[in-house]
Structure 1
Amino acid sequence: MARRGENIYHRKDGRWEGRYIIGRKQNGKPRFGYVYGRQYIEVKRTLTILKAKAAKNPAPVLEAYRNGTLEAWVDYWLEAMTKPYVDISTYRIYKSQAEKHIIPRIGGLQVGEIRQDDVQDFVNEIKKGLAPSMVHNVCRLLKSIFVAARDKNLIGEIPFGKVRKPQNKVKRPRVLACSEQLRLERDVAQTGELEYIVCLYAGLRLGEVCALRWEDIDFEEKMLYVNHTLKRVPCKEGGAKTKLILDTPKTENSRREMPIPAFLAWQLKEKMARENGRETDFVFQSPRGGCLDPRTLQERLKKKFKKLKVRGAHFHTLRHTFATRCLEKRIGIETLSELLGHSTPQITIQYYAHCTRENKIKSIRRLNRIAC
């Protein structure tokens, strides 16, 4: 069957079939209810109503997981409790981490019987082949799975109390030196590639700058609004492996307003005037029209850095450079966190603590002794 949407399939007889979990068999495998219809939207609406009813009275469904395996609970957590509420890229990351690391090692254990020693053995095993940062990511995912099980009264305590994980050292982000940034700006001034200037002076992510549209810019207020991001996701049908979609930002904090310097607002306005005769919606377009592929933008910058002899830098380096220049101008962490679209200031501190430390050192070194 060709698949479309969440557990909705196109049957050979022309009808659409939707399914939803209504319980568990004795072996722990899911038991499904089915919905049929001639139109996809018809099945989707009916399925949404049935799932909502199941969510209001989940006890009969969830009770089957109490004595089931962790693998069965992970499957339910991913499909019923996570997928409808996160974007597709986040869901696929969770699913990949669960299938690669969690399920093969402890998926066969009974949910209610997993103890802290089991989790510690699991961590000790995965840290042999994974970077500390990935170990921490997998552990956060596993803890979320256990938290959900506790909230549904499937387990008592979360078996994560004193689990020891490898030290996760956050790498200092690569930032362009002022001389490197100057060389880049001079080069793009000649080629007219304004997209890199937008990233350097507004701190946009790759998908955000590719999704930028003229309606997102207020020239009078000199304000830029981040309302969308462009991302590549796997295709569910057809021959292509992936496709570009225009989506909302990953978190609510990523959806933000961004003041921009006067010179940048002027350059963007000039660009819009030059393209007034074109059928244009996106600020930065491909030669064939439409949005600019993020991979194309990455490849262009890679070649440009090579030409300018800037080593160890990539597209996200522009965003790191913006953040560092802001801190050098004494912009506070909380303000910078909002400008970058971070969910909390702690994330900003985690990545740019070295910048604030260097600023403190420079400030103290400017102190002179008071003359006696």
Structure 2
Amino acid sequence: MARPRTPIGTFGIITTRRRNSGRYVARTRYRDWDGKGRHVQITGTTRPTAERLLKKKLSERDLFHPGFSGISADSSFPALVSYWLKDMDLEDRLSPTTRLLYERNMRTLVLPFFKEFTLREIGVARCDYFLKQLAKKSYNRARQARVVLRLALGLAVRHEILPRNPMDHVSRLRRPARTPDIFSWEELKAIRAGISAWEHRPIKAGPKPDGQLGQIVEVMLGTSARIGEVLAICLGDLDLDAPIPSVRISGTIVSRKGEPTHRQDHPKTARSVRRVALPGFALRAIGARLEKIRFTHPDTLLFSTRVETPHTTNNIRRQLRDVMDRAGVPDVTPHRFRRTAATAINEIGGLQLASELLGHSDPSITREHYIRRNETVNPITADFLEQAFGRAS
């Protein structure tokens, strides 16, 4: 039967001997951070002094390999941030886009406030104060800061640098009341007219507009897809000859620092892949675009630059904003088309159908962030109340 091992961090019998120099050496065997036993010794002027110094050295010995963490509760918060970023890379669980987003939020939102503190000094009250002050300026920034701060401090807890995560006890962020902004029918007419006027304006020099901006808008409105998802549609995603013409939303356009803009082979989440039936106006826009495409390979992008490279989402947003500024139509963003389409489907077909169109796994996300609540109560209530209380006196 195997002999049970002593726990990590324990030591055996201390032996002490006197050297020729007159100093005493206290020595013992210690089960170290990696489970291996090692001899640890220290010298002192007397036998009791040497034994006391050895016990003190053992009590302070880190049960983690110095190269594994290298930080303690007295380390600075920037040291934990560097350790956390390395741990994320080692784990390799996040997408590159999310990894860059987390690092950006940590460096721009959190680090400036906590950079002068040690980990021991970061408690519930300090975290709570930080988030409340940030929420006064922007709820979304406070929410993003809360995520990365919780993750970094959670790593410190898992690796036994801190005994608890102060983020577990901060007060809940209160989301400000907000009504999702959608376009009215009059605004949509003004947007379409403004884009048409811009695309058909006289051009004295340079290339003429090829109609893509208006076509992209029609497909966004006709599919409720994100701008990156629309720009990532390939010819192989189209099924226009079926009894019900449709498009498969199966990718998105990403632009990361240090990388060329490219098509990612899945949308925001893998569960967002969906096949959407095309309304007539979106089908006509796609048909007009297909007439100008030279290559018919299934991987060819439906919308692309003049040199057949992917559009960046920022360039389309900027172009749309510039065109709408000229037309005098304010606050036109790609995401408003998404919310506008979802609200229309919700009013006609219900919340579940709107959630499916958006590619959401949870209808509550659709209700909270994308649907403008219809304030009009069904007028049949007036008839029912009249029947109940409207008797002649």
Q: TM-score, normalised by structure 1?
A: 0.69
The one-letter amino acid of 1:224's match is: V
How far off its partner does 1:113 sit? 5.6
Cα distance in 2 for residues equivalent to 1:274 and 1:352: 34
Q: Deviations over 1:68-115 (max 9, x none)?
A: 443222222223226833333332232222223323332454445632
| Corresponding residue to 2:110 among 102, 109, 113 | 102
Aligned to 1:325: 344
Which residue matches 2:171?
A: 164
Q: Which residue is 2:255 aligned to?
A: 232
Aligned length: 304
CA contact (8 A) 2:261 2:310 kept: no
Q: What CA distance in whole angstroms lies between the structure 1 residues aligned with 2:370 and 2:296?
A: 41
Q: What percentage of residue pairs aligned between the two structures are identical?
A: 17
Deviations along 1:24-56, one digit per CA (max 9) or x if unpaired, are xxxxxxxxxxxxxxxxxxxxxxxxxxxxxxxxx
Equivalent residue number for residue 229 of structure 2:
208
Cα distance, 1:62 vs structure 2: 4.4
CA distance in 1, matches of 2:129, 2:192: 51
Q: Distance in 1 between matches of 2:311 and 2:235?
A: 14
* Structure 1: segments with no counterpart, 5+ residues: 1-22, 24-57, 237-242
Tell me the distance in 1 between the aligned counterparts of 2:224 and 2:265. 17
Alignment of 1:180-191 (within 5 A): 180-185=187-192
5+ residue gaps in structure 2?
1-32, 34-62, 200-210
What is the CA-CA distance between 1:368 and the residue it aligns to?
A: 3.3
Q: In the alignment, which of 196, 209, 213 is matched to residue 217 of structure 2?
A: 196
Residues 78 and 285 (structure 1), Cα distance of their counterparts in 2 relative to 1, 3 Å cut = same
**1:123 equivalent in structure 2:** 131
- Residues 136 and 165 in structure 1, CA contact (< 8 A), matched pair in contact too: no
Q: How much does 1:230 deviate?
A: 1.4
Where do 1:1-372 residues align within 5 Å? 60=65, 62-67=68-73, 68-81=75-88, 84-111=92-119, 114-124=122-132, 126=134, 130-164=137-171, 167-169=174-176, 171-185=178-192, 192=211, 193-219=214-240, 220=242, 222-235=245-258, 243-249=260-266, 251-253=268-270, 255-264=272-281, 266-267=283-284, 270-271=287-288, 274-275=291-292, 277-278=294-295, 281-332=300-351, 334-342=352-360, 344-352=362-370, 355-356=372-373, 358=374, 361-370=375-384, 371=387
**How far apart are 1:127 and its partner, in Å?**
5.0
> Would the aligned equivalents of 1:174 and 1:313 in 2 still touch at CA under 8 Å?
no
Give CA-to-partner distance per residue, 1:154-174, whole Å, 9 cap, x none: 433321344236643154333
- Residues 135-194 of structure 1 show CA distances to partners (whole Å, capped at 9, x for unaligned) of 222122211222333344443332134423664315433311012223434666796532
Q: Given that residues 174 and 312 in structure 1 are in contact (C-alpha distance below 8 angstroms), is that contact kept between their aligned partners in structure 2?
A: no
- Higher RCO, Cα 8 Å, sep 6+: 1
Give, in whole Å, the separation in 2 of the partners of 1:277 and 1:105: 54
Tell me, in whole angstroms, the C-alpha distance in 2 between the residues paired with 1:62 and 1:366. 69
Question: Are the aligned partners of 1:253 and 1:343 in contact in 2 as well (CA < 8 Å)?
Answer: no
Given that 2:220 and 2:337 are in contact with CA atoms closer than 8 Å, whether structure 1 keeps it comes out as: yes
Larger radius of gyration between Structure 1 and Structure 2: 2
Q: Quick one: structure 1 residues 282 and 306, their matched pair in 2 at CA, closer, same or farther if it must change by over 3 Å?
A: same
* Amino acid in the other structure paired with 1:270: G
Residue 66 of structure 1 deviates from its aligned partner by 4.4
Tell me the secondary structure at the aligned position of residue 85 of structure 1.
coil
- When residues 341 and 72 of structure 1 are mapped into structure 2, their CA distance, relative to the original with a 3 A threshold, is farther
- 1:170–1:228 Cα change, 3 Å: farther
Aligned partner of residue 258 in structure 1, secondary structure: strand
Structure-2 separation of matches of 1:125 and 1:363 = 39
TM-score, structure 2 length as denominator?
0.65
Q: 1:364 to 1:262 in 2, by over 3 A?
A: closer
Please give the secondary structure, in 2, of the residue aligned with 1:367. helix
CA 109–279 in structure 1, closer or farther in 2 if over 3 Å, else same? same
- 8 Å Cα contact 2:255/2:261 also seen in 1: yes
CA drift of 1:215 comes to: 1.0
